[in-house]
């Protein structure tokens, strides 16, 4: 489950320069939501793949230190979003500042309609996913497909959300999420 | 690298274990004991005995036999609670460098990490003898509410014993790990740890291999020793009533009564009444015998206050986590004091379910530490390691060996991920004797938070940042952690200098503090001096 050292270093290179400007939801790789279960699941998913303990042997001390600092940001975000109340308060405070990379996944807010051209993750893709998103998002998209095949809808949704965090510009991913959360 | 073991370094007893692909194996002492008394006996010739032998010499040499070192480790000797704890100890304790407690043995000063280092060295030797290989690394467990200084001092003890401390693991997390590792559970558990000297209660969410602490609380000065003392005081009162002898002020006599009290307490966990005679009470050259009778309801009455306190803290931690008692799917008992029937009854009343007893409460923490040691060292995932050959006698006794998942057949369980929380609010002193929190209690770790402060006077060139932990607004009511000094500030008007104070708690629960002058950009890093922490080579 843990990422490889190479994957991890790529992630550090990606998030470090933008660390100061990232919203709590971006750190958790999650669209804005106030559902504590979804927030905990997102935090656990990151812990499973990137917790510093997993890389004690695999990374040089300097890189491990980078990881601890970035991972502490994830934990800090989780600390402020853990309860429905704190997540709601955060959203209210930061509503204009949070650049929502995806439609809100809160169960109370309706999902926007899927773009006509974008197929759902459950249907065979008319558009080649490999062309519709970057490589990291694609890996997560494939994982979502795998989860759907085993009937694990929750994991599929989570992976699509993580894919959106990795590639906010992909229309295909947004459509897939809309389809998955609509039914 | 040699082997990595898990060590439950307890106030009263310690346990050492190793996890391998086949299960968990406990290292036995010279007499075949699985539980090693955390007692160090200093001999006139300068040598030391540790464990059962040291416990046995406690009656004959009360002033040179050191126990309950965990109550003193990393503590500031001037702290009121420490002074209180000292009054019950028969060996002399003085103030050493950096306000740390030092024990005086025949005129020689011994630091507390040295004492704990002797215990750890003994455990290491037991493991090496049994496993036939060098032990170099260890995961050592500590109470969740241990301070930074206590953690640093525990690490120092490990270093003195020649052990690389891979990780300091919080005891409740270790217990949850022993309970849930490799079981693919989705549960919310309450770990109720009532040990010899300390009480901890924690709530954890276990989801597959992720163990997330939701909230934790505890009392550093509440444990089985208090129950023993309550019974010993009952015996002392009986001695006074029946034989007109007041044993208080006589360490040897009180030690004798304390040992009898422990035996009576243990007996009353099984029986409803204890009746007998305490022999060999030496007083003014005479050997006295004290007949006694104590029933379980009487014992319950003697210890009710202590048990009430544990239940109150358990309710608090549920409130903190926003959980109802019925949301808890399992109550895990840790520590010998959970064998007291009153404790079990009160737990069952609170949660509406009987506590889990699948794993021996004396061994569950060491078992979790061993799993974490095996995981961090990778030994859990290297098939056919040493213990498959040598584990024969004890692997069969291992709780995991007859647990739900026999490791030898299952694929090695995924590496556990432990997500801990801060056990107390970490704060700094501000003007007027007040304080401001930097990191709140029960925040997930590792975590880093920065707050900006400013100067209180014009032309102030130096700020002194006092760090403490506790829940009080007035700084003095919190526990001091140490002081950080930032020098050479630019001469400005009051309030014009911005000082960023950053607190970072790492995965070991150790606090790193940094202060930075935000305006000049000059990073004036400084090290935190922790009161009560050992200084190398001192004492």
Q: Which residue has the higher pLDDT, B183 or B428?
A: B428
Helix A135-149 / helix A153-166 crossing angle, nearest 10 deg: 170
pLDDT at residue B336 tops 60: yes
On whether both A42 and A72 belong to a single domain, the answer is yes
- Give the Cα separation of B503 and B450 in Å (integer): 6
Establish if A47 touches chain B: CB-CB under 8 angstroms: yes
On whether both B487 and B521 belong to a single domain, the answer is yes
On whether both B162 and B232 belong to a single domain, the answer is no
pLDDT at B79: 81
pLDDT tier at A101, thresholds 50, 70, 90? very low
On whether both B170 and B49 belong to a single domain, the answer is yes
pLDDT at A96: 53
Instruction: Give the mean pLDDT of B482-497.
Output: 84
Token code pair at residue B338:
């959970």
pLDDT at A159: 82
Helices (H) and strands (E) in chain A, counts: 9, 0
Mean of per-residue pLDDT scores for chain A: 79
Q: Taking Cα atoms as reference points, which of B192, B208, B262, B211 lies closest to residue B234?
A: B262
On whether both B396 and B513 belong to a single domain, the answer is no
pLDDT at A176: 81
pLDDT at residue B275 tops 70: yes
On whether both B13 and B74 belong to a single domain, the answer is yes
pLDDT at A122: 31
pLDDT at residue B328 tops 90: yes
Q: Which CATH number covers residue B513?
A: 2.60.34.10
- DSSP class of residue B37 equals E
In a domain, A143, yes or no: yes
Domain extent, residue A39, equals: 5-94
Using an 8 Å CB-CB cutoff, list residues of chain B that contact chain A.
167, 205, 207, 209-210, 212, 322, 376, 378, 414-415, 417-419, 443-449, 504, 506-507
Instruction: Give the mean pLDDT of B46-71.
Output: 91
Q: Taking Cα atoms as reference points, which of B39, B41, B40 lies closest to residue B12?
A: B39
pLDDT at B307: 96
The mean-pLDDT minimum among A48-57, A73-82, A145-154, B42-51 falls in: A145-154
Most confident of B74-88, B123-137, B420-434: B123-137
pLDDT tier at A114, thresholds 50, 70, 90? very low
pLDDT at B390: 35
pLDDT at A131: 74
Establish whether B171 is a catalytic residue: yes
pLDDT at B536: 42
Q: Is A79's CB within 8 Å of B378's CB?
A: no
pLDDT at B368: 94
- DSSP class of residue B27 equals P
Instruction: Give the mean pLDDT of B250-262.
Output: 89
Instruction: Give the mean pLDDT of A99-126.
Output: 37
The total of other beta-carbon atoms located within 10 Å of residue A30's CB is 28
Q: Classify strands B164-170 and B135-142 as parallel, antiparallel or unpaired.
A: parallel
In the block, tokens 């029986």 appear at B271
In a domain, A99, yes or no: no
On whether both A87 and A109 belong to a single domain, the answer is no
Which own/partner contact pairs does A65-68 have at CB distance under 8 Å and 24+ positions apart?
A66/A12, A66/A16, A67/A8, A67/A12, A68/B446, A68/B506, A68/B507
Q: Give chain B positions within 8 Å (CB) of A2.
A: 415
Instruction: Give the mean pLDDT of A97-117.
Output: 39
pLDDT at B521: 66
Query: Starting from the edge strand earliest in sequence, which strands make up the sheet with B511-517, in order?
Result: B447-454, B498-505, B511-517
Dihedral angle, C-alpha B91, B96, B98, B101, nearest 10 °: 0
Annotate B283-304 with three-state secondary structure.
ECCEEEEEEEEEEHHHHHHHHH
- Give the Cα separation of A176 and B185 in Å (integer): 30
How confident is the model over B155-180, as pLDDT tens digits?
Answer: 999 999 999 999 999 899 999 999 88
- DSSP class of residue B168 equals E
pLDDT at residue B272 tops 80: yes
In a domain, B351, yes or no: no
**DSSP conformation letters of A64-93:** HHHHHHHHHHHHHHHHHHSSHHHHHHHHHH
pLDDT at A112: 35
Give the residue from B255, B278, B301 where a domain finishes: B301
Q: Give chain A positions within 8 Å (CB) of B419.
A: 47, 51
- Give the Cα separation of A90 and A39 in Å (integer): 13
Q: Which CATH number covers residue B26?
A: 3.30.420.40
From the list A48, A71, A75, the residue facing B210 with the nearest CB is A48
Q: Which CATH number covers residue B287?
A: 3.90.640.10
In a domain, A41, yes or no: yes
pLDDT at residue B84 tops 90: no
Instruction: Give the mean pLDDT of A128-143.
Output: 81
| Alpha helices (H) in B322-451, listed in sequence order | 341-351, 364-377, 387-390, 392-395
- Give the Cα separation of A156 and B412 in Å (integer): 26
On whether both B130 and B23 belong to a single domain, the answer is yes
Q: How many domains does chain B have?
A: 3
On whether both A82 and A151 belong to a single domain, the answer is no
pLDDT at A127: 60
In a domain, A178, yes or no: yes
In terms of CA atoms, which chain B residue is nearest residue A49?
B417
Catalytic-labelled residue, pool B114, B137, B148, B171: B171
Q: Give chain A positions within 8 Å (CB) of B414.
A: 1
pLDDT at B94: 93
Instruction: Give the mean pLDDT of B220-231.
Output: 88
Dihedral angle, C-alpha B370, B375, B381, B384, nearest 10 °: -20
Instruction: Give the mean pLDDT of B477-494.
Output: 84
pLDDT at residue A98 tops 50: no
Catalytic-labelled residue, pool B25, B193, B209, B330: B193
On whether both A80 and A129 belong to a single domain, the answer is no
On whether both B119 and B237 belong to a single domain, the answer is no
Query: Which residues make beta-bridge pairs with B9?
Result: B14
pLDDT at residue A22 tops 50: yes
Q: How far apart, in Å, are the Cα atoms of A146 and each of A1, A50, A114, A163, B77?
A: 15, 21, 21, 14, 59
Establish if A56 touches chain B: CB-CB under 8 angstroms: yes
Chain B: give the shortest CA distance to residue A127, in Å.
36
On whether both B383 and B444 belong to a single domain, the answer is no
On whether both B163 and B82 belong to a single domain, the answer is yes
pTM: 0.76
Q: Which CATH number covers residue A71?
A: 1.10.287.110
The total of other beta-carbon atoms located within 10 Å of residue A111's CB is 18
Mean of per-residue pLDDT scores for chain B: 86
Q: Is A44's CB within 8 Å of B212's CB?
A: yes
From the list B167, B414, B417, the residue facing A47 with the nearest CB is B417
On whether both A79 and A133 belong to a single domain, the answer is no
Chain B: give the shortest CA distance to residue A51, in Å.
7
In terms of CA atoms, which chain A residue is nearest residue B373?
A53
In the block, tokens 């032998």 appear at B53
pLDDT tier at B412, thresholds 50, 70, 90? low
In a domain, A74, yes or no: yes
pLDDT tier at B13, thresholds 50, 70, 90? very high
pLDDT at residue B370 tops 80: yes
pLDDT tier at B393, thresholds 50, 70, 90? very low
In a domain, B336, yes or no: no
From the list A48, A72, A83, the residue facing B417 with the nearest CB is A48
On whether both A85 and A22 belong to a single domain, the answer is yes
Establish whether B458 is a catalytic residue: no
pLDDT tier at B78, thresholds 50, 70, 90? confident
Q: Classify strands B273-283 and B286-295 as parallel, antiparallel or unpaired.
A: antiparallel
Q: Taking Cα atoms as reference points, which of B351, B472, B410, B8 lies closest to residue B181?
A: B410
The mean-pLDDT minimum among A132-141, A150-159, B338-347, B434-443 falls in: A150-159
Q: Give chain B positions within 8 Å (CB) of A37.
A: none
Q: Which residue has the higher pLDDT, A132 or A125?
A: A132
Q: Which residue has the higher pLDDT, B93 or B398?
A: B93
On whether both B85 and B231 belong to a single domain, the answer is no
On whether both B31 and B119 belong to a single domain, the answer is yes
Instruction: Determine contact, residues B203/B189, Cβ cutoff 8 Å.
Output: yes
Q: Give chain B positions within 8 Å (CB) of A83.
A: 322
In a domain, A100, yes or no: no
pLDDT at B413: 60
On whether both B505 and B368 belong to a single domain, the answer is no
Q: How many domains does chain A have?
A: 2
On whether both A110 and A81 belong to a single domain, the answer is no
pLDDT at B339: 93
pLDDT at B524: 59
- Give the Cα separation of A176 and A27 in Å (integer): 22
On whether both A157 and A117 belong to a single domain, the answer is yes
Give the residue from A39, A66, A94 where a domain finishes: A94
Establish whether B324 is a catalytic residue: no
In a domain, B142, yes or no: yes
Instruction: Determine contact, residues A53/A110, Cβ cutoff 8 Å.
Output: no
A:150-169 residues touching chain B, CB 8 A cutoff: none
Domain extent, residue B432, equals: 426-530
pLDDT at B257: 92
């Amino acid at each position: 489950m843990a990422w490889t050292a190479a994957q991890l270093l790529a992630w550090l290179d990606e998030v470090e320069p933008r660390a100061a400007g990232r919203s709590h939801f971006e750190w958790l790789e999650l669209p804005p939501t106030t559902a504590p279960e979804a927030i905990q699941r997102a935090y656990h998913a990151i812990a499973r793949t990137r917790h510093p303990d997993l890389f004690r042997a695999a990374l040089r001390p300097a890189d491990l230190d980078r990881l601890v600092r970035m991972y502490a940001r994830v934990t800090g975000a989780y600390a402020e979003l853990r309860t429905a109340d704190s997540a709601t308060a955060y959203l209210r405070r930061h509503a204009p500042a949070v650049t929502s990379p995806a439609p809100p996944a809160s169960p109370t807010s309706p999902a926007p309609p899927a773009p006509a051209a974008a197929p759902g993750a459950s249907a065979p893709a008319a558009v080649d996913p490999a062309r519709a998103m970057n490589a990291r998002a694609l890996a997560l998209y494939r994982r979502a497909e795998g989860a759907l095949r085993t009937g694990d809808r929750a994991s599929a949704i989570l992976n699509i959300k993580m894919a959106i965090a990795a590639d906010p510009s992909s229309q295909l991913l947004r459509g897939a999420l809309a389809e998955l959360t609509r039914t | 690298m040699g082997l990595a073991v898990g060590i439950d370094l307890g106030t009263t007893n310690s346990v050492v274990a190793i996890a391998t692909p086949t299960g968990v194996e406990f290292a036995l002492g010279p007499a075949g004991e699985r539980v090693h008394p955390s007692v160090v006996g200093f001999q006139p010739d300068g040598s030391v005995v540790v464990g059962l032998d040291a416990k046995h010499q406690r009656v004959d040499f009360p002033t040179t036999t050191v126990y309950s070192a965990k109550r003193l480790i990393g503590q500031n000797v001037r702290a009121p609670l420490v002074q209180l704890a000292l009054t019950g100890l028969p060996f002399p304790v003085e103030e050493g460098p950096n306000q740390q407690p030092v024990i005086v043995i025949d005129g020689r000063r011994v630091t507390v990490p040295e004492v704990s280092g002797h215990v750890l060295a003994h455990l290491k030797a037991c493991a090496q003898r049994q496993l036939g290989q060098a032990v170099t690394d260890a995961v050592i467990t500590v109470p969740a509410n241990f301070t930074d200084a206590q953690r640093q001092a525990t690490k120092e003890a490990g270093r003195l014993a020649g052990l690389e401390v891979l990780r300091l693991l919080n005891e409740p997390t270790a217990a949850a790990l022993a309970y849930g590792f490799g079981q693919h559970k989705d549960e919310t558990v309450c770990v109720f740890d009532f040990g010899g000297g300390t009480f901890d209660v924690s709530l954890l969410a276990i989801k597959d291999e992720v163990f997330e602490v939701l909230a934790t609380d505890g009392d550093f000065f509440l444990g089985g020793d208090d129950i023993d003392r309550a019974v010993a005081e009952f015996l002392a009162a009986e001695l006074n009533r029946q034989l007109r002898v007041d044993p208080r002020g006589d360490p040897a006599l009180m030690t004798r009564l304390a040992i009898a009290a422990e035996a009576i307490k243990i007996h009353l966990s099984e029986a409803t009444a204890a009746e007998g005679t305490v022999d060999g009470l030496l007083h003014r050259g005479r050997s006295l015998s004290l007949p006694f009778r104590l029933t379980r309801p009487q014992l319950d009455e003697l210890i009710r206050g202590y048990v009430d306190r544990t239940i109150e803290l358990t309710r608090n931690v549920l409130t903190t986590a926003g959980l109802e008692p019925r949301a808890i799917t399992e109550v895990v008992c840790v520590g010998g004091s959970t064998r007291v029937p009153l404790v079990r009854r009160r737990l069952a009343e609170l949660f509406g379910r009987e506590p889990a007893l699948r794993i021996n409460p004396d061994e569950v923490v060491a078992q979790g530490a061993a799993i974490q040691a095996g995981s961090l060292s990778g030994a859990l995932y290297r098939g056919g390691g040493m213990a498959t050959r040598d584990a024969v006698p004890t692997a069969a006794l291992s709780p995991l060996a007859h647990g739900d998942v026999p490791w030898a057949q299952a694929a090695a369980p995924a590496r556990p991920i432990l997500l801990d929380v801060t056990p107390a609010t970490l704060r700094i002193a501000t003007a007027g004797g007040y304080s401001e929190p930097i990191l709140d209690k029960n925040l997930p770790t590792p975590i880093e938070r920065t707050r900006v402060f400013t100067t209180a006077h014009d032309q102030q060139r130096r700020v002194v940042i006092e760090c403490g932990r506790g829940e009080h607004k007035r700084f003095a009511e919190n526990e001091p952690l140490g002081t950080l000094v930032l020098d050479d500030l630019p001469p400005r008007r009051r309030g014009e200098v911005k000082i960023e104070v950053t607190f970072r708690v790492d995965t070991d629960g150790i606090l790193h503090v940094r202060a930075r002058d935000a305006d000049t950009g000059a990073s004036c890093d400084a090290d935190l001096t922790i009161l009560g922490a050992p200084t190398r080579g001192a004492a």
